[in-house]
Structure 1
Amino acid sequence: MKEANIPVDGAAPDWPLRPWIIAALLGLAGLAIHFASGGRGPDVSEGWRAALTALLFFGPLALAFTLEPDRRAGPIAFAVLAGLIMAGLAWRAVSGGDQYATPQYGFVAGLIATAIALPLFQAGFHRTRWDTPYPRIHGHAWSDAISAAGALAFTGASWLLLLVLSELFHLLKIDFLRDVMDEGWFGWTWSGAAFGAALGVLRNELGIIGTLQRVVMVVLSILAVPLAAGLTLFLGAMILSGPDVLWQATRNATPVLLMCAAGAWVLVNAIVRDDEEAASTNRILRVAALVLALAVLPLTVFAAVSLGTRIAQHGLSPERLWGLVAIAVACAYGLAWLVAVVRGSRGQVGWRERLRRANLHLAVLISGVALFLALPILDFGAISARQQVARLESGAVSADKFDYSALRWDFGNAGRRALDRLAGNNDPAIARRAGEALRQKVRPYNVGLTADERAYTLRVQPADPALERLVRDNIEANPYRCVNHCVALDLGTLPDGRRDVAIVSGGGYTRVTLPEAQLEGGTPPPMVTPPLPKPVGPRSKVEIRTIPRRYIVVDGVPLDAPLDQASNSLEGRPPRR
């Protein structure tokens, strides 16, 4: 096998101790993750636990992919840096709560930056810079992906083996293996060790990985022909009929177009491969690769216009800004590939070689941009909040159509500060709706509807304007308590002067004390919502009755459920008045 397909940087690929070292490394890391997370794995709510868990996960994993027998200092430094970056992002995502807008996207951006930086580091880009051979970087990227997939498959197989063995010993009434498999510490340790052992074995078999890489590329390249034909027909039909249909379906058009562009990117690279000697010699596949390379730019431009249309309609949001970032990356690839094809058709260097160079430059650029966006430098929530408020104040969107709940829940602290300012607006309608959004304790179930569209009917029995104001304030803060129609029953005044109220709605009711007491963190106390025989409607007759029922009493204490309710009563239904 030629050197271009060997994804190593001058190091001997065969290291007999590699499987044992990586298995021990990841096994201990898994055990440490279990204890660091308090036995909950990645599902932690404390920032420091999330940070420590991320450090123990990504640091050893990066070291497992980069460690070589003659190179230790560099891989350890890279692993520590990757672990610290992901730990910081995990801490921000968990400890920040709703202070930041979409912190999970920042975590994903950091993950992308680390994943791209891994093959660059393995290929020695930090030493050779732009002189790094493209086949070496490309080979590392493919070998990492194939090794990770194979190690995951082996980990699943190892758990299947444990399951079979546990059932085998269970036949002898020996349940030690069953019991230990239920322990969290064992699961993390076993999974880490199994993954590490498989990864070490696969990274020792570079010849097999190189062959498998070529097989995967050959199989994938076959898909380039139907995709190229389909995209050609699609673009031709859209030119003839006009792109209006895309703007009428802006919610779905953008992700579909980006998925097609991503598929074209994968298939073009499967045909172009490492160099001209390794590239496919099939004329049909080469033509298909050329068509797909030229199709990436128009697909991403249409996706950009589609998202831009939605932004013009509804304004910016943190999610849409991240969408713009993804489209910008796709457009950069499309433009770079178009330039590569044009320059390659006129110069001595062919378009495929220019495309490979563009891939290298774009990989480094995207890794840096992703890391920059992952760090707490740009606040997409603040940017979006300023633009949304400007749309409201300029009259681009009316007060009744503005989504105040989005500012409350989706834009982080910047959105809530904007709501605070809007609550003092001179326009009473804006001030009222902003205040209602600020009082919300949970996100309304009917997201995206205006305040008028979320209208509900409320009846207070007996009628009391002061109590009705308290009930409405409570419902605005907890919209799930009143769905379409509800009736508030005054159950009396408590010794402390607060009102005891039952809010009947849908198929149940919630009993609250108004003004409502708050627990630490501003969370309302839990409420019991017993089921109703039928949903409440606008004309439903709701009242309070005292109905005698028969109970089973044990040692003078009646059971919770009366016999009349549990078994429809031997004496018939409760009497009506």
Structure 2
Amino acid sequence: MSEMTQAHAPATHADWPLRPWLLAALLGIAGLCVHLFSDWNADNMPPWRAALVAAFAFGPLALAFTVDRLRWKEPLVFAGLVALVMAGIAWRVTVAGDRHADESFWLAAGLVAITLAMPLFQAGFHRLRWRTAYDQTHFHVWTDAISGAGALVFTGVSWLLVVLLAALFSAIDIDIVENVVDEPWFGWTFSGAAFGAALGVLRNQLKIIGTLQSVVMLVFSIIAVPLAAALAIFLLAVLASGIAALWNATESPTPLLLSVAVAAFVLVNAVIRNADDEVSGNRALRWASLVLALAILPLALLAAVSAGTRIAEYGLSPERLWGIVAVAVAVAYGVAYFAAPIRGRIAGWMERVRRANMHLAVATCVLAFILALPLFDFGAISARNQIARLDAGEVAVDEFDFDALRWDFGDAGREALARLTDSNDPEIAKIARETQTQDSRPYRGYRDTNRDERLANIRFEFEDEALRDHVRGSVRGNGSYCDKPCVALDLGAGEDGRRKVAMVEGGDVRKLSFDLGEAVDDSPTGAVAMEAVLAVEAFEATPDQTANSEVEIREWSGRRVYIDGQPAGDPFE
């Protein structure tokens, strides 16, 4: 092991024989607590449960990565803060329900914040501030990633062994192992203990992992050469053919461009290492890292143009606002990496990149933490933008995405949609009212423009007007009903007292269920339940059905639908 690698390991780090056992117990208990407090089968997990699950999942993990025999008080406080932050975010996500549209992004922002905060804490940033040694921070970033990945692999191998042992004992009629493995509590506890034990072993070998880090960075740096050549050709091609060629080649250039920028960022840092004396003397690697550093800004700017073009065309949405944040971070890194070689005419550019990494990591961590807090409502911002575009005539009424207001922007979008129902424009008000009745989100870009035609396609074989109204409500709420002539048959009341109706269309039969005491619900399910009976028996062809077909119910060891004398669908009883 080189003296250089040893120098990057923290001074407080020492081999701790009890570490694997303590971390196995810590994370095993944490896994058991996650099981006890979770309720994965519930449609909506209570907020307090979600908060406790997040606290026991992330707090012990943070402690496992940071604790040491000679340094445990500060890691315990840090783990407590991580548990508190993630518990608060989980509470907020669970309470949000469908009132917001970007809950998953809050959780992602929290994860980014604690992922960046952990190596900074391990390097002592909370005490040293900007005097924190870059090589220490960089060392922890890589060793955390390598030890975490190694522990995951060990956990997977451990599960494979347990499954094999369970099968082995079951082969001789000893089912106790298999029965225990099938218990939900065992899965969480065993996974936590296996991960903790492996992590403890690996954390005891940080100096060796430091050597492995050098090997990993060497492999990555080799990849930097072909990527730098490819990016140089790509950027020259874009300059020669114009940016439109990129838009024509893919519908989602922004994620693609950002992904390549992230790859360039990783490979640049694999080459420049912790200090200049660690950088390879190979000129090809050095020039490749310079090309990649300079390429990040053009890639980020192309992503910004792509995002801006899409926003100009379609307006804001919560997803696009989060995309703007990602692009802004990429541009910030791109500017820093582009400026580093220019300042001082290339000399010392690697050291300037390292300093920029520290400042940008702290800034990104703070930004992610702020965005995880309930300070901004991206749904409300998007709804205001979309309404402003409609009012300004920037988007035609028939191209305006009313469905997005109903489904994608949370309560703010639904409130904006409700205001549109009182619009002075009768077409806007009509579409807004129709959108409010949707029971599920239509396919993106789909609009039910033939609702009146579909209602006209219904032929009722019963006189009960109240039941007819409920059937019409279901057809209005589902754009796939009655595109062709369809027939509604009264099947009578079921054992639950609800009225059953068979909808026959194109030779297929659907059964709807209604409570006539409830208000008419314009939804596909007629307020409660629908049973689709689309299959026919294997030896029967689906009968042809026309607008004039005779559709009836006959006795056939029970009742079933007949079209022009031919059976359709399965029997009802």
- TM-score clears 0.5: yes
Q: Is residue 509 of structure 1 aligned with residue 510 of structure 2?
A: yes
CA contact (8 A) 2:340 2:353 kept: yes
* Amino acid across the alignment from 2:397: A
Counterpart Cα distance in 1 of 2:42 and 2:257:
33
Q: Is residue 26 of structure 1 aligned with residue 23 of structure 2?
A: no
Deviations 1:240-269 (A, max 9, x none): 111112234563211111111111111101
Counterpart Cα distance in 2 of 1:518 and 1:52:
40
| 1:330 Cα deviation from its structure 2 partner | 0.6
Q: Is residue 80 of structure 1 aligned with residue 65 of structure 2?
A: no
Q: Secondary structure at the match of 1:547?
A: strand
CA contact (8 A) 1:547 1:574 kept: no
Q: Is residue 336 of structure 1 aligned with residue 336 of structure 2?
A: yes
Matched residue, 2:94: 94
Q: 1:310 to 1:434 in 2, by over 3 A?
A: same
Deviations 1:149-204 (A, max 9, x none): 00001111111121222233233321211111111111111110010000011000
Matched residue, 1:368: 366
Residues 403-552 of structure 1 aligned to structure 2 (within 5 Å) = 403-444=401-442, 446-452=443-449, 457-458=454-455, 459-462=457-460, 471-479=471-479, 482=481, 484-485=483-484, 487=486, 489=488, 491=490, 501-505=501-505, 507-513=508-514, 517=518, 524-531=527-534, 533=536, 539=546, 541=548, 543-550=550-557
Q: 1:440 to 1:233 in 2, by over 3 A?
A: same
| 1:440 Cα deviation from its structure 2 partner | 1.3
Q: Secondary structure at the match of 2:395?
A: coil
Counterpart Cα distance in 2 of 1:37 and 1:550:
48
Q: Secondary structure at the match of 2:281?
A: coil
Residues 321-360 of structure 1 aligned to structure 2 (within 5 Å) = 321-345=321-345, 350-360=348-358
CA contact (8 A) 1:344 1:352 kept: no
Matched residue, 1:569: none
| 1:314 Cα deviation from its structure 2 partner | 0.8
Q: 1:466 to 1:306 in 2, by over 3 A?
A: farther
CA contact (8 A) 1:18 1:201 kept: yes
Q: Secondary structure at the match of 2:530?
A: coil
CA contact (8 A) 2:9 2:207 kept: no
* Amino acid across the alignment from 2:319: E
Q: 1:42 to 1:26 in 2, by over 3 A?
A: farther
Deviations 1:488-543 (A, max 9, x none): 5263999xxx9865444574424243768489xx9932221212557899945555
Counterpart Cα distance in 2 of 1:430 and 1:515:
31
CA contact (8 A) 1:422 1:430 kept: yes
* Amino acid across the alignment from 1:457: R
Counterpart Cα distance in 1 of 2:519 and 2:172:
55
Q: Secondary structure at the match of 1:117?
A: helix
CA contact (8 A) 1:7 1:143 kept: no
Q: Secondary structure at the match of 1:461?
A: strand
Q: 1:165 to 1:231 in 2, by over 3 A?
A: same
| 1:484 Cα deviation from its structure 2 partner | 3.7
Q: Secondary structure at the match of 2:397?
A: coil
Matched residue, 1:320: 320
Segment of structure 1 superposing worse, 542-551 or 318-327: 542-551
Segment of structure 1 superposing worse, 529-538 or 334-343: 529-538
Counterpart Cα distance in 2 of 1:391 and 1:301:
25
Q: Is residue 65 of structure 1 aligned with residue 65 of structure 2?
A: yes
Counterpart Cα distance in 1 of 2:41 and 2:81:
22
| 1:48 Cα deviation from its structure 2 partner | 2.0
Segment of structure 1 superposing worse, 82-91 or 469-478: 469-478
Deviations 1:441-479 (A, max 9, x none): 2112x2222343888633121499998776554334344
CA contact (8 A) 1:4 1:274 kept: no
| 1:428 Cα deviation from its structure 2 partner | 1.1
Q: Is residue 46 of structure 1 aligned with residue 49 of structure 2?
A: no
Matched residue, 1:195: 195
Residues 66-145 of structure 1 aligned to structure 2 (within 5 Å) = 66-145=66-145
CA contact (8 A) 1:297 1:331 kept: yes
Segment of structure 1 superposing worse, 162-171 or 391-400: 162-171
| 1:313 Cα deviation from its structure 2 partner | 0.9
Equivalent residues, number = 551
Counterpart Cα distance in 2 of 1:428 and 1:99:
28
Counterpart Cα distance in 1 of 2:542 and 2:350:
66
Counterpart Cα distance in 2 of 1:454 and 1:92:
39
| 1:400 Cα deviation from its structure 2 partner | 1.5
Q: 1:508 to 1:131 in 2, by over 3 A?
A: farther
Counterpart Cα distance in 1 of 2:179 and 2:289:
54
Matched residue, 2:382: 384
Matched residue, 1:303: 303
* Amino acid across the alignment from 2:118: L
Q: What are structure 2's unaligned runs of at least 5 residues?
A: 569-573
Counterpart Cα distance in 2 of 1:89 and 1:535:
53
CA contact (8 A) 1:487 1:542 kept: no
Matched residue, 1:11: 12
Matched residue, 1:555: none
Deviations 1:294-333 (A, max 9, x none): 0010011011111111111111110111111111111111
* Amino acid across the alignment from 1:240: A
Segment of structure 1 superposing worse, 457-466 or 228-237: 457-466
Q: 1:267 to 1:256 in 2, by over 3 A?
A: same
Q: 1:15 to 1:574 in 2, by over 3 A?
A: closer
CA contact (8 A) 2:9 2:210 kept: no
CA contact (8 A) 1:98 1:412 kept: yes
Q: Secondary structure at the match of 2:276?
A: coil
Q: 1:509 to 1:210 in 2, by over 3 A?
A: same
Counterpart Cα distance in 2 of 1:42 and 1:293:
48
Deviations 1:85-132 (A, max 9, x none): 111212222232111121101100110001000000011000000000
TM-score (norm 1): 0.88
Q: Secondary structure at the match of 2:406?
A: helix
CA contact (8 A) 1:400 1:451 kept: no
| 1:396 Cα deviation from its structure 2 partner | 1.1
Matched residue, 1:271: 271
Q: Secondary structure at the match of 2:449?
A: coil
Q: Secondary structure at the match of 2:70?
A: coil
